[in-house]
Amino acid sequence: MSRRDRDASRTAMKTTVLVFLLAGCGLYSALVMTGEITKLALGNKQGIYQLKLEIILDAPAKHIHHVVTDFAHIYRLNPSIVESEIMSTPDNSVVRVKTLINDCFWIFCREILRVEDVRGLETSNIYAEIVPQLSNIKSGMTIWQIQALGRRTRVNYNMIIEPGIVVPPLIGSRIVKQKLRKEVLVTLRNIERIAQIRNEMGEEPNLTLQDDLLRRIPDEHDSAN
Amino acid sequence: MLFAVVSSGCIKKEMQISFQHDVQPILNAKCIECHIPPLGKGYLETGLSMATYEELMQGTYYGPVIVAGDSRHSILNMLVEGRADPSMRMPHGRKALGSEEIEILRLWVEHGALNN
């Protein structure tokens, strides 16, 4: 083997080691940021998908709650969100949130319009129900249970969804399940990251946006005066 | 000159948008008042500085605001186009950017958000 060949071989070896090290670092940081998943169940029955997940997020509960209900900044939670809007509703205990999600699988992309009525904003149990007539999702509901665990947070996430698309049998269901799992984990990871940043910055979550929203929607008593 | 071309509706996908000549003037006129360290309101709230190309690309405390080559998923474009909630439309409390300005920002990002 010539000296040039030996040098080339060494360079290739170094590059390979570097690639493995970088990949390892990426994997490690992804695991750290994703929190600790303590329960995960994902099923499909007659086209209705259910995802149940319990995760421990490494940020205080008040910040997690704030990030989950900060609908004006909902685009920060998942890079698939390309449009969002907080819509008015006749019921002032509900916040109606519209999101347009650009979802791709391999080279196939489609946009999913999701409108949800969100209730229980001031509590640790937040309910979000799909408004089917305004969405291109047939039906769905998500329940968030947010529980403080010292400086960490246990989140129980339960989602039921009936997509408004025809899912091909056999592999279709598997793909949908994989996508659901991945997107939920991306969202949770971002919620954790943003909550950590807000906590480090000493931001106090006052839920001012939600208060403002509820004030903006006049009830019958106000309008009569 | 670019404005004239844009206004005439002749803008083409191939047209090269310059950060220095086309994008930075828009940011300077409409955004930088708030997004400049150390005391700009937008900078204090989000950490986003538009003083230089590098700082713009760095984004906010929460992450980048530009996805090079993809204006649809770029938060900067989303916020100036009013695709997020109206309360988030940029510039805050000011007149929205004109359609030509929005288009320049969109094309610049689509073309790779270069420092050119």
pLDDT digits (tens, 9 = 90+) for A4-54: 555 555 544 444 444 444 444 444 444 444 578 999 999 988 889 999 999
Residues A85, B85: C-beta atoms closer than 8 Å: yes
> With DSSP H G I counted as helix, E B as strand and the rest as coil, what are the percentages for chain B, rounded to 5?
45, 0, 50
pLDDT digits (tens, 9 = 90+) for B86-100: 999 999 989 999 999
For chain A, state the CA radius of gyration.
22
Rounded CA-CA distance A156/A36 in Å is 12
| Longest pairwise C-alpha distance within chain B | 40
φ/ψ bin of A120: left (φ > 0), alpha (ψ from -120 to 50), beta (otherwise):
left
Which residues of chain B neighbour A79 with C-beta distances below 8 Å? 67, 73
Predicted local confidence at residue A107, as pLDDT: 72
ipTM over 0.90? The verdict is no
Rounded CA-CA distance A16/B29 in Å is 48
Rounded CA-CA distance A126/A90 in Å is 19
| CB neighbours of residue A151 within 10 Å | 10
Rounded CA-CA distance A16/A150 in Å is 42
Residues B61, A71: C-beta atoms closer than 8 Å: no
Which residues of chain B neighbour A102 with C-beta distances below 8 Å? 72-73
Which residues of chain A neighbour B62 with C-beta distances below 8 Å? 76, 193-194, 197
Nearest to B56 by CA among B46, B64, B68: B64
Residues A76, B73: C-beta atoms closer than 8 Å: no
Predicted local confidence at residue A7, as pLDDT: 55
Predicted local confidence at residue A100, as pLDDT: 97
The length of chain A in residues reads 225
Predicted local confidence at residue B5, as pLDDT: 46
Residues of chain A with confidence (pLDDT) below 50 = 11-33, 208-210, 212-225
Report the gap between the CA of B64 and the closest CA in chain A (Å). 10
- Crossing angle of the two packed helices A171-200 and A61-68, in degrees rounded to 10: 120
**Could you tell me the CA-to-CA distances from B53 to A22, B19, B23, B70 in Å, in that order?**
27, 8, 10, 17
Predicted local confidence at residue B15, as pLDDT: 75
pLDDT digits (tens, 9 = 90+) for B1-14: 444 445 444 454 55
Residues of chain B with confidence (pLDDT) below 50 = 1-5, 7-10, 12
Predicted local confidence at residue B14, as pLDDT: 58
Q: By CA distance, what is B82's nearest residue in A?
A: A83
Query: Which is the CATH superfamily of the domain at A32-212?
Result: START domain (3.30.530.20)
Indicate the SS3 state at residue A159.
strand
Predicted local confidence at residue A155, as pLDDT: 97
B92 touches chain A (CB under 8 A): no
Please give the order of strands across the beta sheet that includes A81-87. A36-45, A48-57, A152-163, A137-149, A125-130, A108-119, A95-105, A81-87
- Which residues 29-88 of B have a C-beta within 8 angstroms of A? 61-63, 67, 72-73, 75, 78, 83-88
Predicted local confidence at residue A175, as pLDDT: 85
Predicted local confidence at residue A169, as pLDDT: 72
Predicted local confidence at residue A2, as pLDDT: 54
A194 touches chain B (CB under 8 A): yes
**A-B contacts (CB, under 8 Å):** 41
